[in-house]
Structure formats: structure tokens, C-alpha cells
Structure 1
């Protein structure tokens, strides 16, 4: 069997009626699904013996959890991925524009996830990585990835609680009217379209905070903060109020654009570490193509 993933010594003061399942779910915050998967694969051991979920635990007991057996992606032709940060649980990547984050029917190779798996496999670490946040193919910037399902579960929970800060830089058409603005516009799939979303009263809750960075009559540079994480949320919200992203072919103005992608960059991530609780913060500066775009637009302003 592989090396242990997690090793716990049961603390003093636990209930006499606490079993393995209750300990992992209550004391260690494992999700029900993760406990079920670990149990199905026989990955939980109590005092060096295979454990049943109903087995009682006592202070001083040694509970060992081994890694799940997970299917790995084909990493042949995997791209080079620019890592900003790595530790035992986490990877933070500054994704370039044009890179798909995860394989799809249309993009089977050359994805960010395959690039990260290739890095780990080159070190003998045969494990699957887990995306905490996703970016569209043509959006650049910070992507948070975990090396194990428990860290992913914890960070996903923190994100749902609003404790993961995600900020973007966006260049939009038009003269932005205010210093700060909150957009609380529900979003749903657009009927009859395979990709587009739309603002609609029957949609899911979606909240975006927008702050003005710079503006001229032709265009504006904005900092955008996500409070929810709907598909295409920033693109939909800004387009719906008449300020579409420059370069956005899906939600834009339908005219010739001066950049070959939507001008959107995930420039800041901040969150508590899933194991230590330490507050981590990462920044990625505006990429060259968006810097050049903004300089060009300012020059063309009357």
C-alpha cells in the first residue's frame, strides 16, 4: 500500500460513543462523500488494522488514512504551467490566456490540469489534482489547485462562506459612471444556446462588486470582485448593463476588437490555508497584452 496520506492520534476527551465515521466527519471535517469513498476503497486503518466506520475510537488510538485510488489524465503533450506557489497541499498557477483548464470534448490535450499532473508525476507523485476555481480559456490569471480531495473540500467550503477573495482586472467599453457599484443580478443559462448565460429573475443569485481604476470616454479599467461564482458571471453582468468586456465575442458589441480575447485577468487570490489556517494572498500583474490594450485605448480617447 502507498505511504499514508493522513495520520491522526485520537485526542483526550472524545465521547465513549464516537466511531470512526463520526471522528472523521466531526473532528476532522471530512465530507460524507469523501468518507464513503475512502471506506469503499478500504483506505481507513485503526491501530494498524482495516477499520469499519462503526468501530469506536478511544483516546490514543492511531487512525491512518491512505490516498484514494483516482483515475489519472493522459499527460502526453502536457503544456508547461507557470507555478507561483506550491506546498504539500496546494498549487497556485498564473494561467496564460488561451489555455483550457480541464479536458473537454473539444479540448482533450494541452490543459492546465494535465500540465500540473505531469509536474507531479515527474516527481513520482501519481495523484490527481483538483481545481478550486476555474477560468475561461481566454481569461488569464490565478488558479488555485489542490493535491488532495480533503484540501479541495475545505477550500470549496471556505469559498461558499465567502472567505476566498477573488479579484479581477477588466477592460470594458464605455465611460464607467461611478467609483463603486454592486451588481446583484441573477444569472441562468440562455435557452437555446449551448454556451451563453443571461440575466434573468429566475436565475441563480449572482453578486459582483466593481471598483473604478481608470477611465476615459472610450473605455474603462475596472477591478472586479466576485461574491458568487456563476459561469461567465463578470462577462454577463458587465455586458447586461452596457459595459461589455473589450474582446468578448460571446457577450460583446459584435464589432472588430483590438485584442484577440476578452480583456479579463484574475489578478488576486486570498484565502486561509486549508490545513494551517494561515492567511495566504497572491497577486498576478496585468499581462502584457492587456497593458498594451489599455495604453492603446487611452491614446485613442479624445
Structure 2
């Protein structure tokens, strides 16, 4: 059953006066969209307002996003100064992002670097991975390592080198290893909660104010696949 975040069950991974990081659930959307569902940003504002007894509006800046069916770390800025600096860090790729993915069809290599050229299709909100550069394509690169082989799935640890639309989903599908539950990218059936087995596991970056390196890790969702690691 799908559980969305609210101010009472919010999984806060890190917080200080400048930033807050939470563990996103499958049903959460980071920022408001056409569905009209309450976004995670509003939930966090409610949490901050109540916890710190803040009068008036609570400031919260959206720094980056995760696809709705994915889980894991999302960082938000609690001040405008932090937002500006975090935006620069993410824009300039000065962050280290590690994802875990459960895929069917074990990749040919235990670890590898994948290089594709992605073309985004806004009509169906997908990206197609091409082996060679094609018109309107953007270069996409990642590396992966095999963490564990299960009976029907393989758990991969993925490090992003670029930040393209649906990059991990499209690239793993392109090598014949779609992510569990990801109907858009070739998996044969959906997960019961509508999510996919892609989890933003770890994020390392320089704190926008203290300037110290900060590493945040997100616990895995509680299900049979992740619990088997």
C-alpha cells in the first residue's frame, strides 16, 4: 500500500538552520504539479512551522527533484542564501549522487561505465537512449557496480556523471536491464504501490554555509527486495 509523507511521518535525514534533507516516499511529489497533490515542499513547511513554532510563512527552496515513483534523498534550502549556493552546486555537478537500483536481466558486466545520448519526448515524458549522437540528443554518462544478485533481480549501485531526464531508467533499460516496476522503460509489470525500485541512496556535497563536506544516506524502503540486501 502506498504511503505518502505528512508532517507527522516525515522521514527527516538531516536538518539545520540552512538546509533540510528528507527520505522521499514513492507517492511523494517534490514540487506541485498538474495533479494538484500536496507536494513534499508543502509538507516540510508544515513540519518546520510546527516544530519551531514559526509565525507567518515558512521559507523553503526546492533545489533538485526525484521522479515521483522513485525514493530517497531530497535536499531543500531553508534560506535564500543556502538555495543560491546549493543551486550552483547541483548545476555545476559538484555533488556526488549514488543510487541503488533493482533490475531484471543481470548486466553483462559486474561493473561498467555507460555512455548514451538521450532524446527526451515531452509527449509521453520519457527519454530514449541512443548509442551514438543523434539530433537533439544530450550526452549521458554513469557508472554502476553490482552489489548483490538475487534469484530474479540484481541490485546495482549507480553513480551519475550527468543529470539527464530519467537518465538511470533509460540507460539501464537500453542495456536490457530495466528497473523493477518501471513500465515506461520496459519492465513487464508495475509494483503494487506504483513505484519503481530506484532509490537515491547517498548524497555528498559541500554545505552551503559551513563549507564542510556533508554526506547524507537514506534508509531503504521496507520491502522484500530491499530487505534482502
Instruction: Provide the TM-score with structure 2 as the length reference.
Output: 0.85
Name the counterpart of 1:12: none
What whole-Å deviation, never above 9, does each CA across 1:263-290 have from its counterpart, x for those lacking one? 111110111101121011111222112x
From 31, 35, 54, the counterpart of 1:124 = 54
Whole-angstrom distance in 1 between the partners of 2:208 and 2:226: 37
Number of residues of Structure 1 aligned to a counterpart in Structure 2: 215
Cα pair distance change 1:189/1:129, threshold 3 Å: same
Whole-angstrom distance in 2 between the partners of 1:276 and 1:258: 41
User: Normalized per residue, which structure has more strand?
Assistant: 2
- Structure 1 position 294, deviation (Å): 5.4
Whole-angstrom distance in 1 between the partners of 2:83 and 2:163: 16
Name the counterpart of 2:66: 135
Cα pair distance change 1:286/1:96, threshold 3 Å: same
Matched, 1:175 2:103: no
Matched, 1:156 2:87: yes
Name the counterpart of 2:211: 277
- Structure 1 position 217, deviation (Å): 6.5
From 5, 16, 27, the counterpart of 1:87 = 16
- Runs of 4+ deviating beyond 6 Å: none
Q: Which has the larger radius of gyration?
A: 1
What whole-Å deviation, never above 9, does each CA across 1:213-246 have from its counterpart, x for those lacking one? 1125732100011122112111011111111001
Whole-angstrom distance in 1 between the partners of 2:180 and 2:16: 36
Whole-angstrom distance in 2 between the partners of 1:213 and 1:116: 33
Matched, 1:293 2:225: yes
Q: Does structure 2 conserve the Cα–Cα contact (< 8 Å) formed by 1:246 and 1:259?
A: no
Whole-angstrom distance in 2 between the partners of 1:141 and 1:113: 15
Name the counterpart of 1:110: 38
Q: Does structure 2 conserve the Cα–Cα contact (< 8 Å) formed by 1:176 and 1:215?
A: no
Q: Does structure 2 conserve the Cα–Cα contact (< 8 Å) formed by 1:96 and 1:140?
A: yes
Q: Does structure 1 conserve the Cα–Cα contact (< 8 Å) formed by 2:13 and 2:217?
A: no
Q: Does structure 2 conserve the Cα–Cα contact (< 8 Å) formed by 1:236 and 1:251?
A: yes
Whole-angstrom distance in 1 between the partners of 2:90 and 2:184: 27
What whole-Å deviation, never above 9, does each CA across 1:135-167 have from its counterpart, x for those lacking one? 111111110110123212212222233321111
Instruction: Provide the TM-score with structure 1 as the length reference.
Output: 0.66
Q: Does structure 1 conserve the Cα–Cα contact (< 8 Å) formed by 2:60 and 2:78?
A: yes
> Which sections of structure 2, spanning at least 5 residues, go unmatched?
none
Whole-angstrom distance in 2 between the partners of 1:150 and 1:294: 37
Whole-angstrom distance in 1 between the partners of 2:61 and 2:68: 17
> Which sections of structure 1, spanning at least 5 residues, go unmatched?
1-77
- Structure 1 position 295, deviation (Å): 6.6
